[in-house]
Chain A
Amino acid sequence: MPTQDDNLGMSTHSTLGSIRRWLRAARDIYEGMYIAPYRSAIHREYLRQHDVFMLMGFSDLLGVPNPIQFYMLELYPSLIEEFHEWHVRMGLEHPPEGGFRCC
Chain B
Amino acid sequence: MSAIVLLVVGLLAFLTGVMIYSRFIANKIYQLDPDFITPAHEFQDGVDYVPTNKHVLFGHHFTSVAGAAPIVGPGIAVIWGWLPAFLWVVFGTVFAGAVHDFGALWISNRHKGRSIGTLAESIIGRRARVLFLLIIFFLLLMVNAVFAVIIANLFMANPGAVVPVWGSLVVALLVGFLIYRTGAGILLPSIGALITLYVMIWFGEQVPFTLPDLIGFGPTEAQLAAANGDASVAAEAARLDGQRVGWIMILFAYTFVASILPVWLLLQPRDYVNGHQLFVAIGIIGAGVIMLNPEVVAPAVNQNIPADASGWFPLLFITIACGAISGFHGLVGSGTSSKQLAKEPDARYVGYGGAIGEGSLAVMSIIACTAGFAVYLSRDVGAAQGLALWQQHYGSWEGATAGAVTAFVNGVGVLASGVGIPESVAVIFASVVVISFAATTLDTAIRLQRYIIAELGVEYNVKIVQNRWAATGVAVVSCALLALGLDRGAGGMRIWPLFGTTNQLLAGLTLLLVSLYLIRKKRPVWVTMIPMTFLLFVTTWAMLINLSRFFSNNQIMLLMLGAAIFVLEIWLLFEGIAAIRRVRAETIEGPAPQSVTDRLP
Assuming A38-B268, A43-B46, A43-B47, is B62 touching A7 (CB within 8 A)?
Answer: no
Given contacts A7-B349, A28-B55, contact A39 B50 (CB under 8 A): yes
Give the interface residue-count category, chain A. 20 to 34
Q: Are A37's CB and B47's CB within 8 A?
A: no
Establish whether residues B59 and A32, one from each chain, have CB atoms under 8 Å apart when the complex forms. Answer: yes
Residue B264 at the chain A interface, CB threshold 8 Å? yes
> With an 8 A cutoff between CB atoms, is B129 at the interface?
no
Residue of A nearest to B332 (CB): A37
CB contacts (< 8 Å) of A64 on chain B: these are none
Contact B53 A28 (CB under 8 A): yes
Kindly list chain A residues whose C-beta atoms are within 8 Å of the C-beta of B19. Answer: 7
Query: Which residues of A41-62 have CB atoms within 8 Å of chain B's CB atoms?
Result: 41-45, 47
Interface residues of A (CB under 8 A from B): 6-9, 24-26, 28-45, 47
A7-B349, A25-B55, A28-B55 known; A36 vs B60 contact (CB < 8 Å): yes
B418 at the binding interface (Cβ < 8 Å): no
Mind listing 29 A-B residue pairs with CB under 8 Å? A7-B23, A7-B349, A24-B55, A29-B62, A30-B59, A32-B57, A32-B58, A32-B59, A32-B63, A33-B60, A33-B275, A34-B59, A34-B186, A34-B271, A35-B186, A36-B59, A37-B271, A38-B263, A38-B264, A38-B268, A39-B50, A40-B50, A41-B263, A42-B264, A42-B268, A43-B46, A43-B47, A45-B262, A45-B264
Q: Shortest beta-carbon distance, A6 to chain B, in Å?
A: 6
In the assembled complex, B365 has its CB within 8 A of some CB on chain A: no
Identify B64's interface contact among A6, A8, A37, A40, CB under 8 A: A37
Q: Which residues of B contact A25 (CB under 8 A)?
A: 55
Contact of B345 among A6, A31, A47 (CB under 8 A): A6
Specify which chain B residues have a CB less than 8 angstroms from the CB of A45 in the assembled complex. 262, 264
For the complex, give the distance between the alpha carbons of A89 and B339 in Å: 19
Give chain A nearest CB distance to B261 CB in angstroms.
Answer: 12
Q: A42–B263 contact, CB under 8 A?
A: yes
Query: Roughly how many angstroms separate A40 CA and B49 CA in the complex, as a whole number?
Result: 9
Size category of the binding interface on chain B: 35 or more
Partner of A36, one of B23, B56, B264, B267: B56
B52 interface residue (CB < 8 Å to A): yes
B455 within 8 A of A: no
Which residues of chain B come closer than 8 Å to A6, judged between CB atoms?
23, 345, 348
Contacts of B186 in A (CB 8 A): 34-35
Query: Mask for B175-206, Cβ within 8 A of A = 1, else 0?
Result: 00000000000100010000000000000000
* A66 CB to nearest B CB, Å: 28
Which of A36, A38, A43, A47 counts the most B-chain CB atoms under 10 A from its CB?
A: A36
Smallest CB gap from A89: residue in B: B45
Assembled-state Cα–Cα distance A57/B26 (Å): 51
Closest 4 CB pairs of A and B: A32-B59, A28-B55, A32-B56, A36-B60
- B52 lies within 8 A of A36 (CB): yes
Contact A44-B262, Cβ < 8 Å, known A32-B59, A33-B59 = no
Query: Apart from A28-B53, A28-B59, A31-B59, what are 12 other A-B pairs with CB-CB below 8 Å?
Result: A8-B349, A9-B54, A30-B59, A31-B56, A32-B56, A32-B61, A32-B63, A34-B186, A38-B267, A41-B264, A41-B268, A45-B264
Report the minimum CB–CB distance from A69 to chain B (whole Å): 29
Is there an interface contact between A32 and B60, defined as CB atoms closer than 8 Å? Answer: yes
What is the minimal beta-carbon distance from A33 to any residue of chain B, in angstroms? 4
Chain B binding surface SS class: helix
A3 to B46, CA, bound (A): 32
Interface centre among B60, B264, B349 (most CB of A within 10 A): B60
A7 / chain B contacts, CB cutoff of 8 Å:
18-19, 23, 348-349
Interface centre among B55, B62, B263, B272 (most CB of A within 10 A): B55
**A34: which B residues are within 8 A, CB to CB?**
59, 63, 186, 190, 271-272, 275
A61 to B303, CA, bound (A): 80
Residues 375-391 of B, flagged 1 when their CB comes within 8 A of A and 0 if not, give 00000000000000000
Residue of A nearest to B271 (CB): A37
Residue of B nearest to A8 (CB): B349
Closest to A38 in B: B268
Whether a CB of chain A sits under 8 angstroms from the CB of B295 is no
Complex formed: what's the CA distance from A29 to B57 in Å? 7
Closest chain B CB from A67 CB (angstroms): 29
| A29 shortest CB reach to chain B, Å | 4
Check B59–A29 contact: CB distance below 8 A. yes
Q: Contact partner of A28 among B48, B56, B62, B267, CB < 8 A?
A: B56
Nearest Cβ distance between residue B280 and chain A, in whole angstroms? 13
Judge whether A47 and B47 touch: CB under 8 Å: yes
Are the CB atoms of A37 and B60 closer together than 8 Å? yes
Name the residue on A nearest B273 (C-beta): A34
Least CB separation from A47: chain B residue: B47
Contacts of B263 in A (CB 8 A): 38, 41-42
Once the chains are docked, how many angstroms separate the CA of A42 from the CA of B54?
21
Q: Which of chain B's residues have a CB closer than 8 A to the CB of A33?
A: 59-60, 62-63, 275
Q: From B27, which residue of chain A is reached at the shortest CB distance?
A: A6
**Residues in B neighbouring A42, C-beta threshold 8 A:** 263-264, 268
Q: How far is the CB of B92 from chain A (nearest CB, A)?
A: 21
With a cutoff of 8 Å between Cβ atoms, the chain A residues found around residue B63 in the complex are 32-34, 37
The smallest beta-carbon distance between B131 and chain A, in angstroms, is: 28
Cα–Cα distance between A31 and B55 once the two chains are bound (Å): 9
Q: Could you say which residues of chain B place their CB within 8 Å of the CB of A41?
A: 263-264, 268
Map CB proximity to A onto B59-90 as digits: 1 under 8 Å, 0 otherwise: 11111100000000000000000000000000
Residues of A within 8 A of B48 (CB): 40
Q: How far is the CB of A83 from chain B (nearest CB, A)?
A: 16
* Alpha-carbon separation in the docked complex, A36 to B64 (Å): 10
Is the CB–CB distance between B57 and A36 below 8 Å? yes
Taken residue by residue from 246 to 275, chain B's Cβ proximity to chain A (1 for < 8 Å, 0 otherwise) reads as: 000000000000000011100110011001
